[in-house]
Chain A
Amino acid sequence: MIELKNVQKQFGRKKVLNGISFTIEKGEISCLVGVNGVGKTTILNAIMNLTPIKKGSITIDGKPLVPELYNNIAFIPDASISLPHFTVQESMDFMNDYYDTWNVKRAKDIVKFFRLNPSDKLRDLSKGNQAKVNLLLGLALDVDYILMDEPFSGIDIFTREQITEVFSSYLVEDRGVLITTHEINDIEHLLDKVILLDEGTIYKEFNAEVMRETEGKSVIDVMREVYNG
């Protein structure tokens, strides 16, 4: 479990995270939802220590996040994590050289799953296929936790469907997944936990299935109440 407790972050005088607490559990898909600029990416960056936090704590399986423990987390950012002149294969080889946790077999499976061509250069790929390569490079790592920043942004519907299939596949089995998105429509039936953010605070956190069962509301219904109400 990754646990955030009262995480605070300021850029200059502007408070961007104002006491964020939640957990990412293994075997669950959690989703940070909110309009642009509410701090979704800042939270991921804080977990990865790409932006140090001012107050609060972040622990992984009960231990403070020290550099060695980051090899148990894959961070898949919104932008490409490989180089444009690399081919898909070269990108994978690079990961293999750099990361002990790189799983060659799983990488092969994902290439097949996404119908990617290993000899294609990244700069020649469509935006959708570039997003798939990004996911490939993160998902093929043998880690317990996966963070994905906006895996669906600016991607056509068919690629979105393919990416969505990842979440019900063995590729994320038993791992703790956290994704950020503002496009909940395609994925709400796949989520366990939903965390609604607003202005650096958590407005509401709930289990999507429990919400449907106890209140008969879809995730979008709840979002409408929170953001329009």
Chain B
Amino acid sequence: MTVIFNKRDPIYLQVITHLKKLIVSGELRPGTEMPSRRQMANQMKINPNTVQRAYSEMEEQRLIFTEPNKPSRLTEDPAVLNQLKKEWLNQAIDRFVSAIDPIDMSLEELLPLIQEELSNRKKAAK
């Protein structure tokens, strides 16, 4: 797992964003056992205290849960997972709209362009 961190945002937030992306994309399945904070730190080459912080934050958001004496696992709660997808989508839309805002284009003009990009990506993925 190679993650490139930027130097100005808190690393624990970057770790959370990275893991959320793996969850919404389905690369991390619901219920998956999480690596220990030491394993994760070693994989991402970051400070274990940072991973600890990311894990506690994700626990608070109910994305992961820990039973006594067991490794942490990803949630299987559909409500939490749906909420995460929604949040991810809202952020993506927010970034997209901010980026295209300076160009004066209507939704009707944009839609076919987005559709074309989507189908190009699907083709490229195959």
**Partner-B contacts on A (CB < 8 A):** 27-29, 164-165, 167-170, 173, 188-192, 209, 212-213, 216-221
Cβ–Cβ < 8 Å partners of A212 in chain B: 7-11
How many A-B contacts if CB must be within 8 Å?
57
Chain B minimum-CB-distance residue to A161? B45
**A167: chain B residues within 8 A (beta carbon):** 47
What is the CB-to-nearest-CB distance from A148 to chain B, in angstroms, rounded to a whole number? 16
Closest to B50 in A: A209
11 residue pairs A–B, Cβ–Cβ below 8 Å: A27-B49, A29-B47, A168-B44, A170-B42, A189-B47, A192-B47, A192-B49, A212-B9, A212-B11, A213-B10, A221-B7
- Measured CB to CB, the closest approach of chain B to A201, in angstroms, equals 26
B97 to chain A, nearest CB (A): 23
With A29-B47, A189-B50 already in contact, 18 other A-B pairs whose C-beta atoms are closer than 8 Å: A167-B47, A168-B46, A168-B47, A169-B42, A173-B48, A189-B11, A189-B45, A191-B47, A209-B12, A209-B50, A209-B53, A212-B7, A212-B8, A216-B8, A216-B9, A218-B8, A220-B7, A221-B8
- List of B residues within 8 angstroms of A213 by Cβ: 10, 13
B41-81 Cβ-contact flags toward A at 8 Å (1 or 0): 11011111110010000000000000000000000000000
Select which of B7, B13, B42, B48 is within 8 A of A189 by beta carbon. B7
Residues of A within 8 A of B7 (CB): 188-189, 212, 218-221
Selected from A164, A170, A217, A221, the residue in CB contact (under 8 A) with B38 is: A170
B32 to chain A, nearest CB (A): 22
Could you tell me the distance between the alpha carbons of A165 and B42 in the complex, rounded to whole angstroms? 7
A20 to chain B, nearest CB (A): 24
A190-B46, A192-B49 known; A173+B11 contact, CB < 8 A: no
Number of interface residues of B (CB under 8 A): 19
Q: What B residues does A169 contact at CB under 8 A?
A: 38, 42
**B49, A189: Cβ atoms closer than 8 Å:** no
Looking at chain B's contact residues, the main secondary structure is helix
What CA separation (Å) do A221 and B6 show in the bound complex? 13
Contact of A164 among B11, B12, B45, B48 (CB under 8 A): B45
* CA gap between A165 and B41 in the complex, in Å: 10
Q: In the complex, which residues of chain A have a beta carbon less than 8 angstroms from the beta carbon of B10?
A: 209, 212-213
B53 to chain A, nearest CB (A): 7
Residues of B within 8 A of A216 (CB): 8-9
A168: chain B residues within 8 A (beta carbon) = 41-42, 44-48
Chain B positions within 8 Å of A209 at CB level: 10-12, 47, 49-50, 53
Cβ distance B107 to chain A, nearest Cβ, rounded Å = 34
Closest to B45 in A: A168
- In the bound complex, residues from chain A placing their C-beta under 8 Å from that of B41 are 168
Nearest Cβ distance between residue B60 and chain A, in whole angstroms? 16
Chain B's closest residue to A165 (CB) is B45
**Bound-complex Cα distance A209 to B15 (A):** 13
Evaluate contact between B8 and A217: CB separation under 8 angstroms: yes
Chain A positions within 8 Å of B44 at CB level? 168
| A170 surroundings in chain B (CB, below 8 A) | 38, 42
